[in-house]
Amino acid sequence: MILSAPPVWLIVLAFICAIGPLVFIHEMGHYLVARWFGVGAETFSIGFGREITGWTDRRGTRWKVGWLPLGGYVRFVGGESHAGEAERTPAAHRADSFAGRPVWQRFLIVLAGPLANFLLAILIFAAIFGTVGIPHASNLVGTVAPGSAAAQAGIAPGDRIVAVGGETIQTFQDIRRTIFMRPGEEVRLVIERGERRQPVLVRIGATEEQDRFGRKYRIGLLGVSPSERPEIVHPPVLSLIPIATEHTFNVIEMTVRGLYQIVTGQRSAKEIGGPLRIAQVAGEQASLGFLDFAWLAAVVSINLGFINLLPVPMLDGGHLLFYSLEAVRRRPVSVRAQEWAFRGGLALLLALLLFTTVNDLGSFGLWDRLERLIG
């Protein structure tokens, strides 16, 4: 059954409740590590643009909320990246300036933002796994669909799949996860048949599925089912964080693979979504319940951390790249080079925002309706 779209008010509220805390955690990561190193902060902002509300603490930091909830920033004393900023900082503030810190401290301050997002995702996953449990079924094949990729590769009931694409497989959920993002790919599997292990080359099948809100997506399909009905397992408390950490790395791996498939043309660039689609999905997940919304928040937090680590000027990854070059060269990259790089990075981000907005409007059916109206 296809569920109806949630009301606009819920979409807007869910988007703010998802993005706001994630941005706050990201910026708080920067802020806390900076304070640890004695760096002062002039502004801590959630959102951009005109200030809606705010206050100034006893250290002189202005904490504020901007009207455009698409990000945030911390403005440190003495600038953030330009070479020579330490010398131009007034003497009264030079002791707590960002630019006056050693390059390794500046690197860690910038890195702390994305790491805070990954840590938040780990905590959310750990809480969900500890509360709801984890579905578990062995990696033993129960049935093989006739004509499927598995059948064509000679996989039979009773085989145990122990590796997919070089990755060790322990449960049937691992099989699904590794196959899910590989539609149409040729993958090397290792199966255990009796006492013998043997490699098998499989061309993964592809199928189009539809979620509860009618959104279609393409996934890989092997054509096997487990030999037992999955049971819900509640991991020991001490193993929750390691399991959640492993799952976070799995999400990152799926993100990287998805981007690679888009770049190489294996997936359509229309699958890249922006703020509007995030808002739509946030509203949908919120309408399904708190756990679905919390799971989405964890995934978005991972993507926020990952995207910020990309070596694009204006993003944290761009700053980290410059600091790495500074550490290797033993001197900062010139101000002129940084300024040109940041301008290019800004242009790239604006172009990406425009592209994803066009994609989002297309996924809402706007262009089809306009075409029918004009035609």
Residues with a catalytic annotation lie at 27
Return d(Cα 27, Cα 45) in angstroms, integer: 8
Token digits of residue 105: 């401290």
Pairing of strands 196-203, 186-193: antiparallel
Return d(Cα 204, Cα 254) in angstroms, integer: 16
Cβ neighbours of residue 235 closer than 8 Å, sequence gap 6 or more: 129, 130, 133, 134, 243
Indicate the DSSP class of residue 232.
E
- Count the helix, strand and coil residues of the chain and give each as a percent rounded to the nearest 5: 55, 20, 25
Return d(Cα 261, Cα 255) in angstroms, integer: 10
Amino acid code (one letter) for 123:
L
Return d(Cα 192, Cα 78) in angstroms, integer: 61
φ, ψ dihedrals at 231, nearest 5°? -115, 155
Mutual angle of helices 290-308 and 103-132, in 10-degree steps: 160
Return d(Cα 246, Cα 207) in angstroms, integer: 27
Candidates 24, 174, 33; CA nearest to 107 is: 33
Around 192, how many Cα atoms within 13 Å sit in the side-chain half-sphere?
Answer: 12
Indicate the DSSP class of residue 123.
H
Token digits of residue 362: 């297309």
Return d(Cα 287, Cα 78) in angstroms, integer: 45
Return d(Cα 67, Cα 50) in angstroms, integer: 6
